[in-house]
Structure 1
Amino acid sequence: MTEQNHQSGIKAQGIGARVPRKEDFRHLHGKGNFVADFSMPGLLEVAFLRSPVAHANISQINVPEHLSAMVRTREQLDALDIRADSTLPTYQPSSQPPLAAGKVRFVGEPIALAFASTRAEAEDILEEVSVDFVELPVYTSPTTADQAVDHFMHDEWENNTFLSLTIDKDFEVNAAQAEVVVHRTIDLSRHCMVPMEGKAALAYWDNQADQLVLVTSTQVPHMIRTAIARFLKLDQEQVRVISPDVGGAFGYKCVLQQEEVCVAWLAKTFRRPFRYIEDRREHLIAGANTREHHYEMTAYADKNGKLLALDAKITIDGGAYSVWPFTIGLEPGQAVGNLPGPYDIKGYRCVSRCVATNKPAFVPYRGVARTGVCFAIELTMNAIAKEIGREPWEVRMENLVKADQMPYTNVTNKHFDSGDFPASLERALEMLNINARREQQRTQGDRGKLLGVGVATYTEQAAHGTSVFAAWGTPIIPGFDQAFVRITPDGGLEIRVGVHSHGQGMETTFAQIAHETLGIDISRIRMLHGDTGQTPFSTGTYASRSLVMSGGAVAKACKTLVPRLLKIGAHLLGTNEDKVKLEGTDIISSTGSVSISDVASAWYLNPQLLPADVDAQGLEATVGYRPKSDGGCFTYATHAAVVAIDPDMGSVEILDYVCVEDCGVMVNPMVVEGQTIGGIVQGLGTAMYEHSPYDELGQPLASTLADYMIPGAAEAPKIRIDHFQTPSPHTEFGAKGMGEGGAIAPPAVILGAINDALSRIGAPELLHTPVTPRDILGAINKCHAEQVLTNTKGLV
């Protein structure tokens, strides 16, 4: 796309335009269509009896005889267990029954289900069902799980480790050259995803089509169709999955859920509709968990802070099961591969382990492992800066991959396609007016508060495809994404894609991509997605892939139609097709013009006007697409913040937060900024609020939103965003995925800023999330106690 065409697109509605989102109208007017909005004759609501204990054998489930027709247990379900295998070395697979079979492995695991005309009635039925347990040792952390010698999480296992991955690239030779060695122990807390809409599934049997129809809140409808067919032992043509409007997902809805299998089984068995809607307490105690990482980081650097080698041990608490289809291997795999971040490191040794515990299963969450690795490497960079007495950003400048090194293959074989990491850091510091901030720290602080500055730069691997997932050996490997486009008889456009939106604005951005080529007003472009019965195949929306993959397919499909339009248009104008061109929606020659609507009318309604050798494929096309590089493209950004700590309260005020991001060519900058801001606020939740703690018996201690804190409007600072646009050479129009990036850097930025502020009074570092006012006051009080002790010793 030339600059001239790009500017033309901006003035219209194409790539680069800040077009208001088409989907917002229905949502703002309460016209969305979510699973909970469906109404069907004879619909029964489903509730689940969930385990009150973390680890136990089930000796008996007691169902009163008068309720037996409305209750089902595992032995009554002729469905297969959910099993996600992987070819990764050392991987131990786990089978997850749709209802607990003989054993429970976490508090909240479903044991039985009941159905009735209302959810309340179903819950009342379950009140009369009891379970006899023989409790087993409870493993609430990787440490306790590693100590087990029997009663492993899964009986066929040899220990409680899902898998262990190791990489060693030139570590010893580079570490031997170090003049500075620093070590840090860093922890990221466990937490939940908390989308506005939790799990939701409705299933019924369509007698006319002889199909099981599952209406479910999912990011991956085509993959769920594959799974439901497999685990309910149906042919794929007997299953249709529809995903209507989805109220947020963040990765929580990109895996097969036990409840989806159960609801689908009920509809298949009883040939009537059933529905399950997750409530908030179920989400917080039994929904998938994420983020719980432990790092042992040892960095080897020269006297200027150049990082020569990195030695890391990563331990991930993976919960009880490996989820389908991505498996638990995704998290440690992404961790070991992405820990070096945007830095030019020559020596690298890392062991990344994932351990099974008596907690809900670990699921990919916005940023998959990269929030943790960014947190670890950025705090390590701060530690190096502290050790050698340089500014944190000066050390980063020593280590960032430079623009003239692009494209760059790093120590873990990640292929950075384009960009300028140092420039993004420089711009973020400029936006903060860093010199003035440092002077403010040295002079008066901020109204008696402690000021601190934090920075972090990260990369986000987006739209990685076949080769990457094939290396992980997951049950489904992404390949080509397809898009179907059709010009309608009156000159509008229909788009059908297999990905699905859960808030990304695809109905708008995909219309802009189509407008860029065909010039059709986006108000006349309709997109259908989320229905396996009407859309081409895609593995779905995850890993910041949708705009690059399916958006690229839309672009290529629209381009496929152009020669056909020109041929018919030229014939209508009485000239040769090499004498015409498409401008906007008009096909123009030196003597006149016809519109796309005129061409469509000829094709559909007046075929006598068509040329004899017209392309019989007409005005519709299905095209498959994947980027030139199967390893994905790399978005990056630098985030920076200034915080003020109240030394008496331990509270943190974010005075300024800036983000300088580069996701290649932006289709809609407003959508990019909305995604970035939302991600940053989620990242602030990771940094300061969100935590799913468990006691020694595996009981969850945050089961309501009174206990589980999430940031709201009052906690969100004003966020300033600047953009670079370095087109990816591998994608259809230079775009890079960016949906996860905003959530990656904030914990590292905020903890860096808090530690910078605390360092002004000599307080110790904080190296865990969430950091709370109590933690900050503890660090301050410890500093004061040490100072008093030192002064007292001096007097003696």
Structure 2
Amino acid sequence: MTSGIGERVLRKEDARHLRGTAQFVGDIKIAGCWEAAFVRSPLAHARIRGIEKPDGLESRVFVAADMPDVLPIRAESSLPSYKQSDYPALAKDKVRYVGECIAICIAPTRAEAEDIAESVRVDLEPLPPVASIDTALEKNPPLLHEEWGDNLFLTTEFNSDLSEAKKNAAVVIEREYNTARQCMNPMEGKGVLAHWDTKYDQLVVYTSTQVPHLIRTGISQSLQLDQADVRVVAPDVGGGFGYKCVLQPEELSVAWTARHCNRPIRWTEDRREHLTAGANTREHRYKLKAYADKNGRLLGVDADIWVDIGAYSVWPFTACLEAAQAGGNLPGPYDLGAYSCRTYSVATNKPAFTPYRGVARPGVCFAMELTIDAIARAVGKDPLEIRRLNLVQAEAMPYTNITGKFYDTGDYPSAAVQAADMIGFDTFRKRKEEAARDGRFIGLGLSSFTEQSAHGTKVFAAWGLPLVPGYEQAMVKLTPSGSIEVKSGNHSFGQGLETTLAQVACDWLKVDIDRVKIVMGDTGLTPYSTGAYASRGMVMAGGAVSKASEELVRRLRIHGAHLLQCDPEKTEIKDGRVVHGQASVSFAEIADAWYLHPDRLPDTVNTAGLEVTEGYKPDIDTGVFTYATHAAIVEVDPDTGRVEILDYVIFEDCGRRVNPMILDGQSYGGAAQGIGTALFEETLYDSGGQPLTSTLADYVLPGPSELPSFRLGHSESPSPYTRHGIKGVGEGAAIAPSGAIVNAINDALAPLGAELTQIPATPHRVLEAIFEAKEQNRAGASA
């Protein structure tokens, strides 16, 4: 039995997770390992006047002055007007957010290390904090990086002529939209364990990361070591979502301390550290003006987008990826004739901004989808009709949109119709009227999007990033016993990549999936890869495994044909065997001949052997585009502001599905995170830059009782530019929920004239919108 592409194969990695035998950073045991704790800044903005180590424990505490050979994290960019920030492993002269690392303390146990950290005295001179976009941009504001002269990492501008759109517009929609700051909250926090391997004279760093090869590069640069002197191992990783795809200052401090003290050192992030000092994300502000004709045809959009980036630029994605993605992706799946957009990447006294599942697109989808519904209300048509009118049509594919996004394949209007049909769009108005007679407020919302996945060299180079991915590498090997070993420099942290890469190999080699072993996450064992981000895993790593497997099949047929005494072109691969007519040889027999009995092979044998390493990237470099429409039905309690999701539908197309079961799981997980964005999750700060959501009692995550029973529908429009027609799908389901849910809330509250334009749509904000509508109604009546 084979387990190739398209099969609902159970995940290979689940056995060790379910049995508790998986190894995360916290599980690794090395003799003599000590634990680390950090002294972190209690102030958002301050100068460091002095640091006093506790008497007798000076050798257990290290500060920036102890590490003169450690270079700061420097995320450079070639974009004009970009301002770089040096992000120190340990704060040197100044702290720029609450939780910034000032000192690392080590001891045999974490409790002892925390006790030492408590006894370190830091003399801080408070400085005026910059806790919001408004403060950062006011006249003569406090400056995070004085040498800049302002608080802007970067501004960008995209301009096309809006004059015709303005002249022909019968409807003009103006809105301001706001999205909240969030934390990623993977099940496993960040963790790192480092030690010096005396046998290989090499720094070995175990770290919970999505990008082991990139972290090796970053550590070697900052510690000024040759990359051959650094080995990075990513063991089992308990979720990443983007948080674990950047170089963390804690990784540098732990690695330096381990080498300096000549002992293994480990640090594992606790939840409070994550919520207060971990990377933040999602905080956007939009001022948007949309122009449409009397039928609701979208003519043009003019937008300003501000992103609260925090204090530092992260390596390698910089502080500017979020705004660049927002400006480039705001048009989404719509056929837009004119578009102008200005983006501002704003520095504030908050933790550094990190790419999070969907990178900017949850925000732009929210803004655009609410605008589409506002147009529908303005022209008196239903939101499905307006989407069908404005979405890129199937016959236009492939389609290059106004910002240069190349949409490869798909039928966007059909996905919207399918989602609407699944949720009962045509009968919903009657259902809503019946609910209204019972005093209930229910509403239906739609949200459509595209997800750019596996974008490559030219795209990243155009963003000016220090990371520019090229050819993804993979190695596929026939072992001496006849099984298959696959090595990939990519990594799996919950997305099932061990299983799906094995399925790709099985598709070519026609073996059972139990005969395929996947090796990932170790720079000492695997070919180079920039790692797992941007929904690139299956397109890039899967493509590389496919290409290597294809070449291995070719070699196996040659060796098998010699043993069968036939023409290789007349053989085929079946059930782990090379077959010619009624005769066949097993992979094990071929392996035995190559590795152990080469006397059975001719002197002219191909000496390339049965280990194949290949590089791969798609035929286009702009990425391939998954798309979907989400539909939600909600009920709103106008007395409490509580929102309940009654039904939720996802209709998506990600090209050829490698493992439909895993794909469904990705959709469930992404939609759950999107619902958190829409209704619950918000990292709050006061005017002094102090975090107000430092525990999971304050930072609300959706649980089973808050999530609906998702219903999924799929179509397949394979990409002609990738192996097997695969497109990325890892981020998609997290993009659309805010648009669908808030559109549904606004539909439910339409009889009251209330409209939400900010997420999360907490009960407080829902009630605010209702009260504001009532005040406006009273003012209108009195006038």
Q: Which range, TM-score by smaller chain?
A: over 0.9
Does the 8 Å contact 1:318/1:362 carry over to 2?
yes
Q: Which residue of 2 aligns with 1:4?
A: none
Q: Which residue of 1 aligns with 2:356?
A: 365
Does the 8 Å contact 2:2/2:575 carry over to 1?
no
Q: Which residue of 2 aligns with 1:725?
A: 716
Q: Which residue of 2 aligns with 1:404?
A: 395
Q: Distance in 2 between matches of 1:256 and 1:558?
A: 33
Q: Which residue of 1 aligns with 2:302?
A: 311
Amino acid aligned to 2:682: H
Amino acid aligned to 1:448: G
Q: Distance in 2 between matches of 1:782 and 1:184?
A: 16
Q: How far is the alpha carbon of 1:581 from its aligned partner?
A: 1.8
Q: Distance in 2 between matches of 1:163 and 1:130?
A: 36
Q: How far is the alpha carbon of 1:784 from its aligned partner?
A: 4.3
Q: Distance in 1 between matches of 2:70 and 2:337?
A: 50
Amino acid aligned to 1:227: G
- Deviations along 1:343-394, one digit per CA (max 9) or x if unpaired, are 0001000001110000000000000000000001111111111111111111
Q: Which residue of 1 aligns with 2:109?
A: 118
Which sections of structure 1, spanning at least 5 residues, go unmatched? 1-10
Is 1:217 the counterpart of 2:202? The answer is no
Q: Which residue of 1 aligns with 2:478?
A: 487
Q: Distance in 1 between matches of 2:55 and 2:540?
A: 54
**Larger mean Cα displacement after TM superposition, 573-582 or 206-215:** 573-582
- Deviations along 1:223-256, one digit per CA (max 9) or x if unpaired, are 0000111000000000000000000010000000
**Larger mean Cα displacement after TM superposition, 762-771 or 723-732:** 762-771
- Deviations along 1:708-759, one digit per CA (max 9) or x if unpaired, are 0000111110000011110001101100001000100001110000000000
Is 1:711 the counterpart of 2:702? The answer is yes
Q: Which residue of 2 aligns with 1:593?
A: 584
Amino acid aligned to 1:364: P
Q: Distance in 1 between matches of 2:768 and 2:427?
A: 29
Q: Distance in 1 between matches of 2:607 and 2:708?
A: 57
- Deviations along 1:656-710, one digit per CA (max 9) or x if unpaired, are 1000100000100111110011000000000000001110100000000000000
Aligned ranges 1:153-302 → 2 under 5 Å: 153-302=144-293
Is 1:48 the counterpart of 2:48? The answer is no
Amino acid aligned to 1:33: Q
Is 1:13 the counterpart of 2:3? The answer is yes
Q: Which residue of 2 aligns with 1:771?
A: 761
Amino acid aligned to 2:757: L
Does the 8 Å contact 1:499/1:550 carry over to 2?
yes
**Secondary structure of 2:713 counterpart:** strand
**Secondary structure of 2:15 counterpart:** helix
Q: Distance in 2 between matches of 1:777 and 1:149?
A: 36
- Matched residues, percent identical? 53
Q: How far is the alpha carbon of 1:636 from its aligned partner?
A: 0.5
Amino acid aligned to 2:408: D
Does the 8 Å contact 2:223/2:252 carry over to 1?
yes
**Larger mean Cα displacement after TM superposition, 239-248 or 649-658:** 649-658
Q: How far is the alpha carbon of 1:40 from its aligned partner?
A: 1.4
Does the 8 Å contact 1:88/1:329 carry over to 2?
no
Q: What CA RMSD, in Å, does the superposition of the two structures yield over aligned residues?
A: 1.3
Q: Which residue of 2 aligns with 1:444?
A: 435
Does the 8 Å contact 1:295/1:314 carry over to 2?
yes
Q: Distance in 2 between matches of 1:462 and 1:28?
A: 30
User: Which of residues 59, 80, 102 in structure 1 aligns to 2:93?
Assistant: 102
User: TM-score, normalised on structure 1?
Assistant: 0.97
**Larger mean Cα displacement after TM superposition, 244-253 or 61-70:** 61-70
Which sections of structure 2, spanning at least 5 residues, go unmatched? none
Does the 8 Å contact 1:148/1:160 carry over to 2?
no
Q: How far is the alpha carbon of 1:776 from its aligned partner?
A: 1.8
Q: Distance in 2 between matches of 1:601 and 1:388?
A: 74
Q: Distance in 2 between matches of 1:784 and 1:145?
A: 34
Q: How far is the alpha carbon of 1:573 from its aligned partner?
A: 1.4
* CA pair 495-446 structure 1, distance change in 2 beyond 3 A: farther
Q: Which residue of 2 aligns with 1:7?
A: none
Q: Which residue of 1 aligns with 2:737?
A: 746
**Secondary structure of 2:548 counterpart:** helix
Is 1:68 the counterpart of 2:58? The answer is yes
- Deviations along 1:207-237, one digit per CA (max 9) or x if unpaired, are 0000000000000000000011100000000
Does the 8 Å contact 1:495/1:527 carry over to 2?
yes
Aligned ranges 1:414-493 → 2 under 5 Å: 414-445=405-436, 448-493=439-484
**Larger mean Cα displacement after TM superposition, 75-84 or 778-787:** 778-787
**Secondary structure of 1:182 counterpart:** strand
Number of equivalent positions:
782
Is 1:508 the counterpart of 2:499? The answer is yes
**Secondary structure of 1:562 counterpart:** helix
Q: Which residue of 1 aligns with 2:650?
A: 659
- Deviations along 1:175-212, one digit per CA (max 9) or x if unpaired, are 32212111010000001000011110000000000000
- Deviations along 1:133-177, one digit per CA (max 9) or x if unpaired, are 111111111110112526411121121001001001232233322
Does the 8 Å contact 2:738/2:759 carry over to 1?
yes
Amino acid aligned to 2:298: L
Is 1:563 the counterpart of 2:574? The answer is no
User: TM-score, normalised on structure 2?
Assistant: 0.98
Q: How far is the alpha carbon of 1:577 from its aligned partner?
A: 1.7
Does the 8 Å contact 2:2/2:513 carry over to 1?
no
**Larger mean Cα displacement after TM superposition, 582-591 or 391-400:** 582-591
